Chain A
Amino acid sequence: MNEQHLKIFVESATHYFNHLSGEPATVQVPYLIEHNESLIYDYTGVIGIAGLYQGNIYFTAPEGMMRYLLATQGETKLTPENCLDVVGEIANILAGNARRELGNELLISVPFKMAGKPSMMLLAKNSRSYAIPIQWRIYMAALVVSVKG
């Protein structure tokens, strides 16, 4: 992944929050993260990437942000199950929207969703991993792109 690729994911994240809520997110400068570094909030949605590109992309966010996003969409059941559902859907949308630029050779999986710390390593081996910090309202979240190709 190069700078141009990361820009596509930054635009994807900016578009998501702005379009859905009308309240733009502040997407900060992406930075390289080490493989032993843990960047995980309360809920995480992971998308496996295959095809021309290999690895995974994950979106991780605090519970408060997920609950607020649910409410923004008119959802009244602000449950842990629905927080998991929405974090998976965001990961799916951010990865899927990136295909507008990267094309259908970016094969994406259905989201794998989890609450709390993962029991496995989320960063792909043999690839550089970048964190894209996202601030929306008072909440900080991150999109992590760990993809080679």
Chain B
Amino acid sequence: MIKLLVVDDSSIICRKIERSVKVSGLNIVGIAHNGLEAVKLFKKHDPDLVTLDLTMPEMDGLETVSALLAIKPETLVLVVSALADKATAIEAIRRGAHGFLCKPFTDQELNEALTELLESGAR
């Protein structure tokens, strides 16, 4: 079973991700609403994959990417954000994120992004 941590300050988005994920073998182990909570849950659940918002209170998503990957560098990180500019996507990738999904997203787009990430991680 692949463990997924969902990080977004919007409860609606977290629940949408919970309902939408149809990728076989993926199990949501935790939901965090800011970067600090994400780090705490990350240490507790040791996930393999993280969906991560960028605009969050307490600790933003870019800082959180660095913090999570400092703990476990092999973690796959899919940024799920409204910030649609190239510079932000490049910065997230530079910090170690593996994919970028722009909000608003459909169920299909989320599942395709997660599948692509898992396949790339398996290679």
User: Measuring CB to CB, which residues of chain A are less than 8 angstroms from any residue of chain B?
Assistant: 15-16, 19-20, 70, 73-75, 82, 85-86, 88-89, 92-93, 95-100, 102-104, 108-110
Contact = CB atoms under 8 A, between A and B. Distances in A.
A16 B105 CA distance: 9
- Say which size band chain B's interface belongs to: 20 to 34
Given A93-B103, A96-B81, 5 more contacts: A74-B19, A92-B82, A96-B82, A99-B83, A100-B84
Contacts, number: 66
B83 A110 contact: no
A110 B57 contact: yes
Contacts of A92: 10, 55, 82, 103
B10 A89 contact: yes
Interface of B: 9-13, 15-16, 19-20, 55-57, 81-85, 87-88, 102-104, 106
Contacts of A96: 55, 81-84, 103
B87 A104 contact: yes
Contact of B106 (A19, A93, A103): A19
A135 B82 CA distance: 22
25 contacts: A19-B106, A20-B104, A73-B16, A74-B19, A74-B20, A75-B16, A82-B11, A85-B10, A86-B10, A86-B12, A89-B13, A89-B103, A92-B103, A93-B82, A95-B82, A96-B81, A96-B84, A97-B84, A97-B103, A99-B84, A100-B85, A102-B85, A103-B85, A103-B87, A109-B55
